[in-house]
Amino acid sequence: MYGDGCICRYKESKGGIRHQTKISIANKDERLIHKLKEHFHFFYVSEFDFSKYNKNCSKQISLSSKSKKLFNDLETHGLFVRKSYPKLIKN
């Protein structure tokens, strides 16, 4: 999580607050995501093709969770909220 992961907290359009924990890596390392998924069943898997928007980027596979508890635990243990997300709630 500390290397390729992120946590973010942001406001939804309806005023609620959403928490997300995510780790993304290149599709070529997909086996690592599936290994993590075996141990952490509460994550869901998704893919995104960044090469559509930047020729220097590639397709990525991600594990994500919207658990507020996981978010809080990671933040308590030193993982910083990602600063580049829009609508970020400052601490």
Structure token pair of residue 10: 């942001």
Other CB atoms within 10 A of residue 62 CB: 17
Estimate the share of the chain in helix, then strand, then coil, as percent rounded to the nearest 5.
25, 35, 35
pTM for the model = 0.72
Structure token pair of residue 3: 């290397």
- The pLDDT tens digits along the chain (91 residues) read 777 788 888 888 888 899 999 988 888 989 999 999 999 889 999 999 888 888 888 889 999 999 999 999 988 988 888 655 444 455 4
What does the alpha-carbon distance between residue 82 and residue 39 come to, in Å, rounded to a whole number? 25
DSSP class of 82: P
pLDDT number for residue 46: 92
